Structure 1
Amino acid sequence: MTKKFANLRARMTPESQTRADEKARAMLAEMPLNELRQARGLSQKMLAEVLHIQQPAVAKLEKRTDMYLSTLRSHIEAMGGELEVVARFPDGAVKISNFSDLERPLAA
């Protein structure tokens, strides 16, 4: 018999619920492109249509470890997001603004 998550969660101690929430937030804060796409409810085919490319190109892009920022930005924007480049240092973080001036492709 399956159990509802809400019932299981209700039986957890408040401390366990807090730990679970923190772990879930950490997992959602960092993920590879393919998981991000899936979390946004998009298939590779759907994303390819928005980007005006073929589905295998999306698969290839999601496996890459090195790409142009403009390519990554297009991918993120096709999912409904906005790309920001942030440099983190021990004494704070700085948003790099150079890349916001990159020419954006015209909407179709």
Structure 2
Amino acid sequence: MDDLDKLMQTLPEDERRAVAKRADELVAAHNLRELRALAGRTQEDVSAGTGFKQTNVSRLEKRADMKLSTLRDYVESLGGTLKIVADIAGKKVDISGIAERSRHSPKL
């Protein structure tokens, strides 16, 4: 059992249902624009949180491919944390560390 499971068990049933409902909403996002909308944020909010220009945020939301560090910055600007999990032969391995950005990598 992980820490999240332990924490969830301490919550009252109505709060657990609310958390599960919100998690289901976030899982239902199919692209960055939907994720941003579910988080209740604007492109300007993302721009301020990432340092990207608002026009670049708009372009980013339309892209199918991007650097993991860029995706991590975007998710963090929404107040989230990017987690990357590889499922190999039924074993889940957290490889989120590969999304760490270099101090020297330029922003969009």
Identify the TM-score tier after normalising by the shorter chain.
Answer: 0.5 to 0.7
Select between 67-76 and 88-97 the one with higher mean Cα deviation: 88-97
| 8 Å Cα contact 2:82-2:96 kept in structure 1 | no
| 8 Å Cα contact 2:47-2:57 kept in structure 1 | yes
Secondary structure at 2:35's aligned position in 1?
Answer: helix
Q: Once the two structures are superposed, what CA deviation does each residue of 1:2-53 show, in whole Å capped at 9, x if it has no partner?
A: xxxxxxxxxxxxxxxxxxxx99865531411111111111111221122222
Q: 1:104 to 1:74 in 2, by over 3 A?
A: farther
Number of residue pairs aligned between Structure 1 and Structure 2: 84
- Residue 56 in structure 1 maps to residue 55 in structure 2: yes
TM-score for both structures, normalised by structure 1? 0.62
- Residue 35 in structure 1 maps to residue 22 in structure 2: no
TM-score for both structures, normalised by structure 2? 0.62
Q: CA deviation at 1:90?
A: 4.8
**RMSD, aligned α-carbons:** 2.6
Distance 1:26 1:35 in 2: 13
Q: 1:98 to 1:48 in 2, by over 3 A?
A: closer
Distance 1:25 1:101 in 2: 24
| 8 Å Cα contact 2:32-2:61 kept in structure 1 | yes
Q: CA deviation at 1:100?
A: 5.8
What 5-or-longer segments of structure 2 have no aligned partner? 1-19
Query: 2:8 maps to which residue?
Result: none
Query: 1:45 maps to which residue?
Result: 44
Secondary structure at 2:47's aligned position in 1?
Answer: helix
Q: CA deviation at 1:61?
A: 0.3
User: Which has the larger Rg?
Assistant: 1
Query: 1:73 maps to which residue?
Result: 72
